C-alpha cells in the first residue's frame, strides 16, 4: 500500500517530516525516507480492518 501511495502522488509529505521523531524515547528522525508513506499505509490498513475506529483507538 505504501508503494501505491508514493506512486499515485495523492499523499503529499509535509515539509516538517524530516524534523519529526516517531516516539518519546527517540532522539532522531527516521532513517527511511519513505517512512511517511509507510505510516500512512499502516493507519489506512488499521482503519479498514477495525472499522469503525476513532482517534482514541488509533493512538494506541
Angle at 42 between CA 59 and CA 46, to 5 degrees: 65
Tell me the three cell numbers of residue 11: 499523499
Closest CA to 38 of 59, 56, 22: 22
3-state secondary structure of 29: coil
Q: Where are the domains of the chain?
A: 2-58
Q: Are 40 and 2 in contact (CB under 8 A)?
A: yes
| Residue 6: per-residue pLDDT | 92
User: How crowded is residue 10: how many other Cβ atoms within 10 Å of its Cβ?
Assistant: 9
Q: Mean pLDDT in runs of 10 for the chain (60 residues)? A: 92 90 88 91 88 78
| Residue 60: per-residue pLDDT | 66
Amino acid at each position: 500500500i505504501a508503494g501505491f501511495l508514493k506512486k499515485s502522488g495523492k499523499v503529499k509529505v509535509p515539509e516538517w517530516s524530516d524534523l519529526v521523531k516517531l516516539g518519546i524515547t527517540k532522539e532522531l528522525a527516521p532513517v527511511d525516507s519513505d517512512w511517511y508513506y509507510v505510516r500512512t499505509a499502516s493507519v489506512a490498513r488499521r482503519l479498514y480492518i477495525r472499522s469503525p475506529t476513532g482517534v482514541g483507538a488509533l493512538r494506541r
